[in-house]
Amino acid sequence: MKTWVPSDSVAEVLSDLPGVECAVYDGTAPMPEGIEEVEVWIPPLATVPDVPGTLARMTSLRLVQTVTAGVEPYRPHMPEGAMLCNARGVHDAGTAEWAVGAMIAVLREFPGFVDAQRRGEWTYHHTDVLADSTVLIVGYGSIGTALERRLEGFEVEVVRVARSAREGVHALEELPSLLPRADVVVLLVPATPDTAGMVDAAFLARMKDGAVLVNAARGGIVDTDALIAELKTGRLRAALDVTAPEPLPEGHPLWSAPGVLITPHVAGSTPASGRRMLRLIRAQLSRYLAGEELINVITDSY
C-alpha cells in the first residue's frame, strides 16, 4: 500500500505495519515517484502547493488523513471514492493552553510590561483580570471542551456556542444576543463557507467595550479591516494566532494596531501535538488495514 507521509518520524511509526510502503513528501522537496499509485496520503502541517492538482493525479487514492483539525484545503477537491479524516483531538491541549495564555496575557497587559522592561521602566498600574469574567467559546467542539477544562479554577463563567444547540450549548443563531455579555470571545469554529468572515463589523460592534477577541481558528473567519478599525479606537483588544492574510506581511497595519497580541499560528505546534499525531496516524492506519471503521471522518456536516 503506497503511502505518502509528511516526515521520517511518521514513516518510522508506520514501518512495522504489514504492506505499508512509505514515501516522505513534505511539500518542499520534489514529489516522490508513483503519485498515481498512492492509496493513502498524510499531508504535512503546511499546505502543499497545488492541492487540487495533486489530488487529481492520485487516481488510486482511498484515504487522506490530515495532521490538522482543519481540512479546508482538501475537502473541496477530494476525488470520488476517497475518504477524508482530520486530526481531531491531536491539537486540543496545545490550542486550549494557548487560548488561556493569550487571554491572560492581554487582560494582564503582559506585552506592554515586556515593552516597559526593555525600556527599563517601572510602569505600575492596575490591569484587568480573568477572574469574574464571562468567556464565550464560539465553536464548542473537542478544543472548546479542552479549553473549558483548563478554565476551571479561574473563576469564570463559560458560555458555549456550536453550530446547533444541545444541552448546555447555544446555537450560532443566538450569538447576537450573547456577544454583549462576554468579556472574552474565543473563536474555535472550522473554516467553512458559512464561517468565512463571520466576525465582521456587526459582530465586533456587539462585543462589549474592553472585550478581548481570541482567534485560535482560522484568519479568514475575521474581517481584518473591521478588527483593525475597532482596535484603533481602543474599544476592543485581541489575541490572534491566525490572521488574514497569513503569513502576515511586513508592514501590514495589524502589526502596529494597539491592543493586539499576535503569534504566528503556533497554538497547536507543540511536542504534545506531535506525540498525539503519531499515535493517531498509527491507530488510523491500523484500522484501515484491518478494514475497520475509521475515526474523525469528515462528512457534509463537518
User: Measured on CA atoms in the order 277, 283, 289, 292, is the torsion positive or negative?
Assistant: negative
**77 is an active site residue:** no
Burial class of 206 by CB neighbour count within 10 A (0 to 12, 13 to 18, 19+): middle
E strand segments, the chain: 2-5, 21-24, 40-41, 63-65, 83-85, 134-138, 157-162, 170-171, 184-187, 212-215, 237-240, 260-262
The catalytic residue among 62, 246, 252, 282 is: 246
Question: DSSP 3-state assignment of 144?
Answer: helix
Q: How many Å apart are CA 216 and CA 96, to the nearest integer? A: 9
Residues present in the chain in total: 302
Question: DSSP 3-state assignment of 139?
Answer: coil
Q: How many Å apart are CA 86 and CA 64, to the nearest integer? A: 8
Short-list 201, 154, 196, CA closest to 179: 201
**265 is an active site residue:** yes
The catalytic residue among 88, 163, 237, 265 is: 265
Cis amide bond preceding 245, omega within 30: yes
Angle, CA 70 vertex, CA 41 and CA 243 arms, to 5°: 125
**118 is an active site residue:** no
Write phi, then psi, for 178 (nearest 5 degrees).
Answer: -90, -30
CB 302 within 8 A of CB 164: no
The catalytic residue among 160, 163, 170, 218 is: 218
Cell numbers at residue 156, please?
A: 469564570
- Active-site residues, by number, are 218, 246, 265
